[in-house]
Amino acid sequence: MISERPAEADDRAVPGHWEGDLILGLKSSAIGTLVERSKRFTLLLHLPPMPGHGTGPRKKNGPALAGHGAEAVRDDITNSIQALPKHLCKSLTRDQGAEMAQHEQLTDHTGL
């Protein structure tokens, strides 16, 4: 919850606190964004469709093959954050979209 964000992230004085979002485009294309709150440094996450996307009828409750399902988003955020120095990886605030359903695993993998 945004109310649980550390106070130092709210005043933007300390680097390492991030905000994330998802931009959806045409034909299920997607780009994830991570913006560092103090310096406004921005990382863009390429979220291409996964193998099997658009090859047949959609399977109810099947895997999210559009590339912006929870697993794909978790993996891309993990890869991007782990490439940064540790002092720049303190917290991440996201909305409550389905793409963040694996936020607990993301925390386990990254320490955010």
pLDDT band at 5 (very low <50, low <70, confident <90, very high): confident
Q: What DSSP state is assigned to residue 45?
A: E
pLDDT recorded at residue 42: 96
pTM score, whole prediction:
0.79
Q: Mind listing the pLDDT tens digit for each residue in 11-51?
A: 888 999 999 998 888 877 788 899 999 999 999 998 877 66
Distance, CA of 18 to CA of 37 (rounded, Å): 6
Looking at residue 6, its amino acid is P
Distance, CA of 3 to CA of 109 (rounded, Å): 23
pLDDT recorded at residue 80: 92
Average pLDDT, the chain: 82
Neighbours of 69 (CB within 10 A): 18
Q: Which residue has the higher pLDDT, 4 or 23?
A: 23
What is the set of domains in the chain, with CATH numbers?
A: 2-57+64-110 (3.30.420)
Nearest to 9 by CA among 33, 37, 39, 48: 37
pLDDT band at 59 (very low <50, low <70, confident <90, very high): low
